Amino acid sequence: MNPTVQQLTDWDKRYVWHAFTQMACYEPLIIESAEGCELIDIEGRLLLDGVSSMWCNVHGHCHPAINAAITEQLNNVAHVTNLGCSNSTAIRLAKRLADLTPGDLNHSFFCSDGASALEVALKLAFQYWHQCDSPQPKKTSYIGFEDAYHGDTIGTISVGGIDQFNAVFKPLMFPVKRLPIPDRRVPAEASACAHHLRLLEETLQQHHETIAAVVIEPLVLGAAGMIVQPAGYLKGVRELTQKYNVLMIADEVAVGLGRTGKMFACEHEEVIPDILCLGKGLSGGYLPMSAAIATTEIWNAYLGDFGEAKQLCHGHTFGGNPLGAAASLATLDLFETEQTLAQLPAKISRISEHLTKLKEHPHVGDVRQCGMIAAVELVRDKASGEHFLWTDRHGHQVCQFALNHGVWIRPLGDVLVIMPPLSVSLDQIDKLCEVIAAGIHHVTQAKDLT
């Protein structure tokens, strides 16, 4: 007999340990099925998926083409190890990514999630400097950014910078040279781009001999609150890393695969990193699949006779899984057959129209957008920029209002994230943004009356 709704709710609270969730306060939301841009919970309620199921769904849920690709692969083989072995589907995906990514990013190391891809990238950069043509074994550190997020492994929280997540683990973390978040909002007398590039160059001038790589989320720092970098900053980072002989690791786990309006965020400023990390949307949000994609120069440093022991001693049981690879190939096919990127400008413009209206609200301190990624920042006082007490959870309250009105979103503190699947319709964008606007009014009006 199938469990009842109440049983599932009770079991969810008792047995499932949810990520980034205070389980003492958790109220279950249990999804039973999904179609297109809508989720359907166990009570039959339809919810517009306003955050792409944590920024990963691309072409909508239950897409027949992706379903068919997974089913076809399942009828052949579900899993093949990537350790000294391969499978034709993963091989085709690696070739496809080599053709699709800019420059000579031709060599994919497959993992299962974004954090594991970043962990591989950190190791690749570290070991590269020990065995490249001109070894520099002193290059053992990294440059990261305040409030950046790259995952939850020890390596990725070390290069990440969100103290709220990382403080308890500091004894386990390795030291990193950390720069201020590259925000557009700097003192009026300074050019944001020039200001932040100057800080980076000062750090590289002083420490480049010990820096293996700069780790950066191109264009947008996601978990930091969807902070949009100043135009030209990414290109400047690439130029400085080349000038000071430091590698560049681009974390496009969240911003890649069309989210910024182009296939890869780096393309906006014609940047080719040394290592590009993909995840989340790589499989369309269907199955765990990620990749650390390296240039041929990085690849060549790992080639040699067996006795030289130059190989990367790192691997994941499900790296290169053929089911995930099949979903990924189908996802990339859909970008072409459905002309996904060509349809984005109208959707990006519609989101922008709503943000312009939202910006006028007395408790909206800032709105930010980069392509299909947008954020609305709530503040107590617009003039001073003073925030609400974080313990009051205004962002969460707006999300609860949205949930009660058929929209599923998840906040970053008091920053409301708008990141629907790329397949979202204009009408669905209207609903998403209008519900958020109504939720902000409802929550802050109650605050103003107290």
Instruction: Give the CA-trace dihedral at 327, 330, 336, 341, to 10 degrees.
Output: -20
* Alpha-carbon gap, residue 99 to 88, rounded angstroms: 17
* Cα separations in angstroms, 175 against 62, 156, 178, 392: 43, 12, 9, 33
Binding residues for pyridoxal 5'-phosphate: 114-115, 251, 316-317
Give SS3 for 266: helix
In degrees rounded to 5, what are phi and psi of residue 131? -135, 15
* Alpha-carbon gap, residue 134 to 310, rounded angstroms: 15
* Alpha-carbon gap, residue 62 to 57, rounded angstroms: 10
DSSP bridge pairs for 249? 215, 275
Which CATH class, in words, describes the domain spanning 67-337? Answer: alpha beta
Residues 6+ apart with CB under 8 A from 161: 144, 145, 146, 147, 148, 149, 178, 181
Binding residues for substrate: 149, 280, 315, 410
Give SS3 for 267: helix
The topology (CATH level 3) of 5-59+339-449 is Aspartate Aminotransferase, domain 1 (3.90.1150)
Q: What is the pLDDT of residue 164?
A: 85
* Alpha-carbon gap, residue 212 to 136, rounded angstroms: 9
Per-residue pLDDT of the chain (450 residues; tens, 9 = 90+): 889 999 999 999 999 999 999 999 999 999 999 999 999 999 999 999 999 999 999 999 999 999 999 999 999 999 999 998 999 999 999 999 999 999 999 999 999 999 999 999 999 999 999 999 999 999 999 999 999 999 999 999 999 989 888 899 999 999 999 999 998 777 766 799 999 999 999 999 999 999 999 999 999 999 999 999 999 999 999 999 999 999 999 999 999 999 999 999 999 999 999 999 999 999 999 999 999 999 999 999 999 999 999 999 999 999 999 999 999 999 999 999 999 999 999 999 999 999 999 999 999 999 999 999 999 999 999 888 898 988 889 999 999 999 999 999 999 999 999 999 999 999 999 999 999 999 999 999 866 655
Q: Structure pTM?
A: 0.95
Please check whether residue 70 is in contact with residue 325, taking contact to mean a CB–CB distance below 8 angstroms: no
Binding residues: 114-115, 149, 251, 280, 315-317, 410
Closest CA to 372 of 159, 143, 57, 110: 57
Please check whether residue 310 is in contact with residue 131, taking contact to mean a CB–CB distance below 8 angstroms: yes
Please check whether residue 53 is in contact with residue 423, taking contact to mean a CB–CB distance below 8 angstroms: no
* Alpha-carbon gap, residue 1 to 24, rounded angstroms: 29
* Alpha-carbon gap, residue 404 to 94, rounded angstroms: 43
* Alpha-carbon gap, residue 215 to 193, rounded angstroms: 17
Q: What is the pLDDT of residue 391?
A: 87
Q: What is the pLDDT of residue 390?
A: 86
Please check whether residue 324 is in contact with residue 141, taking contact to mean a CB–CB distance below 8 angstroms: no
182: left (phi over 0), alpha (psi -120 to 50) or beta: beta
* Cα separations in angstroms, 105 against 124, 213, 323, 337: 14, 16, 23, 24
Q: What is the pLDDT of residue 322?
A: 98
Please check whether residue 293 is in contact with residue 266, taking contact to mean a CB–CB distance below 8 angstroms: no
Instruction: Please give the full DSSP string across 229-263, using - where no structure is assigned.
Output: PPTTHHHHHHHHHHHTT-EEEEE-TTTTTTTTSSS
Residue ranges covered by each domain of the chain: 5-59+339-449, 67-337
Residues 6+ apart with CB under 8 A from 409: 50, 51, 399, 402, 416, 417, 418, 432, 436
Instruction: Please give the full DSSP string across 35-101, using - where no structure is assigned.
Output: EBTEEEETT--EEEETTHHHHT--S-BT-HHHHHHHHHHHTT-S----SS---HHHHHHHHHHHHHS
